Structure 1
Amino acid sequence: MSPVSTKDPLASLDEQSHSIDPAQNLSAQKSLLYQDLCSAQLSLPQSLSHSNSSHPSVASAGSNPSSPTTSASPTAFPTSTPASSGISSPLEELRESDMLKLIATATDSSSSHPQQSSTLLFSQWRPTSHFLGPHGWMNDPCGPSYDPRTGLYHLWYQWNPTASTWGNISWGHAYSRDLVHWTSRPQPVLSPGSNHDSQGVFTGCVLQRSPLGTPEEAVQSADMTALYTAVSKLPIHHTLPYSYGCEKVVLSTSADGGETWISQGIVVDGPPKHLDVISWRDPYIAPWPLLDTLLGRTGEAPGLYALIAGGIKDTTPTTFAYSIDPTDLSQWSYVGTLADVGRNCKAEPYGVDLGQNWEVANFFTIADKAGGSSASAEYLLINVEGCIAPGPARAPVYMRLDLDATQIDDGEIRLQPAHVGLLDHGCLYAASSFHDDKHHRRLMWGWITEDDLPEDYYDTQGWAGLISLPRELFHHPTSSELGIRPAEEVRLLRQGAQEISFRPEGSVVGAAAVELAEAAMGDAVELCAAPVAEVASRSFEVEMELSAAQPGLVVAHSEDLSTRTLVYVSASGELVVDRSLSAGKDSVIAKQIKVNTSALRAPLTANPSGTHKLRLFMDNSVLEIFVDDLVALSTRVYPDAQDTGLSVLVRPDAGAAGEVRIWQGLDKALVA
């Protein structure tokens, strides 16, 4: 495959000859250049196809309509600090005394702005193969979409460019030709400014079309249309009294590829007044034939609908549905709420807690391509909060809908779930999906949080949070669950990587390894940790089959295994990530910073072979794990820079171990 160009496709057009009046402003010039880009239909890489082998926000925390939305001032943090490649770290010489000084600076209220003293820590745990903002806090992915006019995928995201904690919520922007190599903009493209969004530009969606005209006409325009939650009053949280009008839906347009935006005003000024809501935000818009059917609407083209997530006080989390005029995206009509599941409903089959409030809700239809039939399933994607301990307080959830059980009473639609599961069993939240028209599939991103690192150190580090690798959601051929796997393009991160084929021999690697395995696995069988000597970084991908002979991995471990993270299948058939020693036991990180090292678990579906296919990505402090195309788990670990070992857990008396494939030195996500 040809190498990915690092040249800005918008900037490249500046080299062409145009008759632009020098008096024209930058926005007008960009608009003209972008229209040229649309008409040029730049040549794109050939479509990627699947191989025959299977693939393995929290939001709660009146300008002139003709004026572009203002941008926040760039942060004082030194953005030129290079990110670590993951193979070698600039902090390998950072020792305990240096770390203690940094900790003291972070906790000293009299010190200068924390970001100005955090250069040394900026790269310590920063990933390089995932997309993340230039610096500062980031959370929800916003408006993921594909623009067929330019061949570019776009991703906006919640960003605080002035600090590494939540606040001043703006939209950052990046674009890509292949979903994994991104050109990122150094400043926000949408920022708090006017009366209605003075406290934040929260999550929303972007449509690759003009807001006016028939759908066929609108997509011929160079315009993009964003609809998002404009926030005028804080704090907002589902546990606090709700102030009507604090959240509004605003429409803005861009004629230059999402670089600058012009507000077209408020579309909906608040939730339905007859309902006592606790939140109402994060609009998502798409055609939905299912809702056409339920509402008895017929026509040649499917209707256009918006879903807004939220909840009703002391009653239920829910989604608020609206019908939109497809020829004028500013015209919304309220349809009703679509769910009444009650508070903290435990949904089948896994007892998933549906919480007290929902955020970032999507709807979609997935066809059974593998079965060769025309059958399809309907889904809701929701991000739930207000869950009850001991489970996580929030989680990304999918519902496969039971259409036979769906109720319509006095015009109120009550969607019923047939199957509810987790989209991720770790720290991923604010999952958002879209239909990729280019490859006719459903893609999803999520926010991988920094929650396991105490917030006191966010500004010291200089950043917090990142975006997951792109994931495909699909109809799983052998399960009633929603399939989830890395998008095919994620394999492009292997470009330039060292490929290693490893077959464990089962030799004992010292008593520490035996004790580790016995304690972790909870049985009397001794396990060995077979080291992959070639791996000396925290930048790699692993593909392997988990079995009785080789039930898991030890990652990010020290030479003596006193620092380690275990990833394995337990005797009870669960995927387990044991992080109890992920920061060591006596290190400064463990004793002073006190990162969260609790274990994570995910149930696995048994299969006749007794094996499970694992695909694991290690990107400095980030772990993304996929098992059997059914289970995803994202988590964070914070070891010392020199803890880069990778070993395979082997049970010598359980038969021959299989091949383990490793790609070390994954490609960087940011090309500009």
Structure 2
Amino acid sequence: MTTTSHAPAAATRSVPTPHFRPTAHFTARDTWLNDPNGLLHHDGVYHLFFQNNPHGSTWGNMSWGHATSTDLVTWQEQPVAIEHTAEEHVFSGSAVADVRNTAGFAGPGQTALVAVYTSAYTAASERPGIQAQSLAYSLDGGETWTRYAGNPVLDIGSSEFRDPKVFWYGGDDGRWIMVAVEAVRRTVVIYSSPNLIDWTLESRFGPAHATAGVWECPDLFPLTVRGTDQTKWVLVVSLNPGGIAGGSGSQYFVGDFDGHTFTPDRISTSTDPADYDWLDYGRDYYAAVSFNDAPDGRRLMIGWASNWDYANATPTHPWRSAMSLVRELDLVRCSDGRLRVVQQPVLPADEADVDVFDLTVPSMPGTRTEVVLAPADGAGTSRLVLTIDGDARTLSCDRTASGTVDFHPAFPSVDTAPLLGDGDETRLRIVVDATIVEVYVDGGLVTLTQQVYPDAALTEVHTIDRAA
């Protein structure tokens, strides 16, 4: 959760055109949203909590909104779960099912869902300006929530200590692990607890790699290396600004975790952000975190499909901002020996809800191909242009003519991603859902997410060979 209260930049226009609201990307009904929080699967239901302003369409009054789904695509917005008070804004965090009743919140036959969130204390509180970690619990499957009377449970006296992601580590003799950030120190801190209430500092990680902005929204989880029985751990850290495409971005590290310390496989000494590992190379993928307790061992992740550079100004009404598609994560070893995260979208069973384009384009030296997304003939003039450059081994995305781009000077952009796949061809899966385009390159080895505000829906794709 970005704590800098950005003065909302005034949008030059509002565009309530129906095709501007995505179908498969969750949006709040008529309010603002940002970071996903409390992602949890419990009793057959996926819970998506999110940073929400219940009273407006720009950042403020931070509370936990709530949506539920059984298929990760069709979301039902629920009443606000944990609302701000005069003394406390409810910043980012996570949720767990306390099936062992370690915190003692549940009665006989009950399971407590426990939210671990950052209390951002206001000037009206006894801790003005402090950020500390607090608990709320639900005994009815997430419908209603009660703040823990002993809050906060972890207070280090800092104004920049936030975004706890909590998970159970080990079997019945295990314990809770929390990763959080000391944001301006660009440090991930790891704590442990037997009961979600009493926390012990285990270790710190960082600063490392991208550090131009504050660190936020960490996540730590295991993945099996594809084709092996080797398990590695992935540490995700978002930062703002300093993302690979400018403004907000999400980087990751691959390494090992022993229950106390995360040890990365590699720390680059380069100052070039291109040498780091990024979850997404577009402008609009931030604060990505994964679901706790997803079935069948799947690692499912969702991010905020926006960027703090212009998030308060995007031309929609009365809602503002959307989530990305849910992505399933895998880990592969590439030909250069590096382990990289691979991401695949969870798509609607009925793809009539979105437009999905699968194509293969040449990417050998001497080739340069444009993939143009446009409205149907005569419907509009907007264009989103992807260029695959075989000599530079890059994919660029030009949204400068994608429709309404003048609502903020940072919005019109040309963003570039590396081609990491082998061979002389590049596979693209392009998912278009109204205002959001997600591009998956070579099976999700690279992804690029962009907002667009076209004058008509981008429903057609064609390619142009630009090779000399």
TM-score range, shorter chain: 0.7 to 0.9
Alpha carbons 2:130, 2:159 under 8 Å: kept: no
> In 2 relative to 1, CA 454–363 (structure 1 residues): closer, same or farther, beyond 3 Å?
closer
- 2:431 alignment partner in structure 1: 617
- 1:385 alignment partner in structure 2: 240
Alpha carbons 2:27, 2:319 under 8 Å: kept: no
Query: Greater helix percent: which structure?
Result: 1
1:318 matches 2:187: yes
- 1:204 alignment partner in structure 2: 93
Distance 1:176 1:309 in 2: 29
Distance 1:232 1:546 in 2: 52
Counterpart AA for 1:429? Y
Distance 1:590 1:300 in 2: 53
- 1:52 alignment partner in structure 2: none
- 1:438 alignment partner in structure 2: 295
> In 2 relative to 1, CA 138–482 (structure 1 residues): closer, same or farther, beyond 3 Å?
same
User: 1:131-165 deviations in whole A, cap 9, x for unaligned?
Assistant: 11111210011111111xx2111111111121111
- 2:2 alignment partner in structure 1: 58
How far is the alpha carbon of 1:601 from its aligned partner? 0.8
Find the residue that maps to 1:221 and give its secondary structure. Answer: coil
Distance 1:555 1:208 in 2: 43
Alpha carbons 1:250, 1:265 under 8 Å: kept: no
Alpha carbons 1:471, 1:484 under 8 Å: kept: no
Distance 1:402 1:207 in 2: 23
How far is the alpha carbon of 1:435 from its aligned partner? 4.5
How far is the alpha carbon of 1:540 from its aligned partner? 0.5
> In 2 relative to 1, CA 190–601 (structure 1 residues): closer, same or farther, beyond 3 Å?
same
How far is the alpha carbon of 1:397 from its aligned partner? 1.0
Counterpart AA for 1:310? E
- Please identify the structure whose Cα radius of gyration is greater: 1
How far is the alpha carbon of 1:59 from its aligned partner? 3.9
* TM-score (normalised: structure 2): 0.83
Alpha carbons 2:165, 2:218 under 8 Å: kept: yes
Query: Greater strand percent: which structure?
Result: 2
Among 190, 209, 223, which residue is 2:82 paired with? 190
How far is the alpha carbon of 1:270 from its aligned partner? 5.4
Alpha carbons 1:556, 1:564 under 8 Å: kept: yes
Distance 1:637 1:653 in 2: 27
Distance 2:285 2:467 in 1: 37
> In 2 relative to 1, CA 382–288 (structure 1 residues): closer, same or farther, beyond 3 Å?
farther
- Correspondence list, 1:280-359, <5 A: 280-288=161-169, 301-311=173-183, 316-325=185-194, 328-336=195-203, 338-341=204-207, 345=208, 347=209, 353-359=210-216
How far is the alpha carbon of 1:428 from its aligned partner? 0.7
1:257 matches 2:141: yes
How far is the alpha carbon of 1:613 from its aligned partner? 1.6
Counterpart AA for 2:90? V
How far is the alpha carbon of 1:468 from its aligned partner? 0.6
- 2:347 alignment partner in structure 1: 490
Find the residue that maps to 1:179 and give its secondary structure. Answer: coil
- 1:555 alignment partner in structure 2: 373
- 2:339 alignment partner in structure 1: 481
How far is the alpha carbon of 1:205 from its aligned partner? 0.9
1:375 matches 2:230: yes
Alpha carbons 1:210, 1:219 under 8 Å: kept: no
Distance 1:208 1:616 in 2: 35
CA RMSD, Structure 1 to Structure 2 (Å):
3.5
* TM-score (normalised: structure 1): 0.60
- Correspondence list, 1:46-445, <5 A: 57-61=1-5, 121=16, 123=18, 125-147=20-42, 150-185=43-78, 187-193=79-85, 195=87, 197=88, 200-209=89-98, 212-213=101-102, 221-233=110-122, 246-268=130-152, 271-272=155-156, 279-288=160-169, 301-311=173-183, 316-325=185-194, 328-336=195-203, 338-341=204-207, 345=208, 347=209, 353-368=210-225, 370-371=226-227, 373-387=228-242, 392-401=246-255, 415-418=263-266, 420-426=276-282, 427-445=284-302
Distance 2:196 2:262 in 1: 26
Distance 1:397 1:106 in 2: 29
Counterpart AA for 2:422? N
- 1:568 alignment partner in structure 2: 387
Distance 1:143 1:221 in 2: 20
User: 1:78-122 deviations in whole A, cap 9, x for unaligned?
Assistant: xxxxxxxxxxxxxxxxxxxxxxxxxxx976xxxxxx9xxx6x626
> In 2 relative to 1, CA 605–126 (structure 1 residues): closer, same or farther, beyond 3 Å?
same
> In 2 relative to 1, CA 335–267 (structure 1 residues): closer, same or farther, beyond 3 Å?
farther
Alpha carbons 2:116, 2:135 under 8 Å: kept: yes
Distance 2:417 2:123 in 1: 36
Alpha carbons 2:235, 2:254 under 8 Å: kept: yes
How far is the alpha carbon of 1:394 from its aligned partner? 2.8
> In 2 relative to 1, CA 386–623 (structure 1 residues): closer, same or farther, beyond 3 Å?
closer
Among 446, 452, 469, which residue is 2:325 paired with? 469
Alpha carbons 1:212, 1:329 under 8 Å: kept: no
How far is the alpha carbon of 1:563 from its aligned partner? 3.0
> In 2 relative to 1, CA 416–170 (structure 1 residues): closer, same or farther, beyond 3 Å?
same
Distance 2:407 2:188 in 1: 43
Alpha carbons 2:420, 2:446 under 8 Å: kept: no
- 2:399 alignment partner in structure 1: 579
Counterpart AA for 1:462? P
Distance 2:406 2:466 in 1: 36
Alpha carbons 1:361, 1:383 under 8 Å: kept: yes
Alpha carbons 2:370, 2:465 under 8 Å: kept: no
Distance 1:143 1:189 in 2: 11
How far is the alpha carbon of 1:329 from its aligned partner? 2.1
> In 2 relative to 1, CA 555–271 (structure 1 residues): closer, same or farther, beyond 3 Å?
same
Q: Sequence identity of aligned pairs in percent?
A: 26
Distance 2:314 2:25 in 1: 21
Find the residue that maps to 1:304 and give its secondary structure. Answer: strand
Among 635, 643, 651, which residue is 2:450 paired with? 635
Find the residue that maps to 2:233 and give its secondary structure. Answer: strand
User: 1:382-436 deviations in whole A, cap 9, x for unaligned?
Assistant: 1123438x95233111101267xx9xxxxx9574452641011111101111354
- Correspondence list, 1:572-611, <5 A: 572-583=392-403, 589=404, 596-608=411-423, 610-611=424-425
Distance 1:414 1:550 in 2: 41
Alpha carbons 2:280, 2:449 under 8 Å: kept: yes
Distance 1:218 1:472 in 2: 35
How far is the alpha carbon of 1:225 from its aligned partner? 1.0
User: 1:638-670 deviations in whole A, cap 9, x for unaligned?
Assistant: 1213x545232143999xxxxxxxxxxxxxxxx
Counterpart AA for 1:251? L
Distance 1:424 1:374 in 2: 26
User: 1:225-251 deviations in whole A, cap 9, x for unaligned?
Assistant: 11111111279xxxxxxx876212111
**Residue ranges of structure 1 left out of the alignment (5+ in a row):** 1-56, 62-104, 108-113, 236-242, 290-298, 348-352, 407-411, 498-538, 584-588, 655-672
Count residues in correspondence: 444
Find the residue that maps to 1:378 and give its secondary structure. Answer: strand
> In 2 relative to 1, CA 452–556 (structure 1 residues): closer, same or farther, beyond 3 Å?
farther
**Residue ranges of structure 2 left out of the alignment (5+ in a row):** 268-275
Counterpart AA for 1:329? L
User: 1:277-318 deviations in whole A, cap 9, x for unaligned?
Assistant: 5611011111346xxxxxxxxx87333211111235xxx411
Find the residue that maps to 1:577 and give its secondary structure. Answer: strand
Alpha carbons 1:210, 1:225 under 8 Å: kept: no
User: 1:199-226 deviations in whole A, cap 9, x for unaligned?
Assistant: x1111111122683499x9996332111
Find the residue that maps to 1:439 and give its secondary structure. Answer: helix
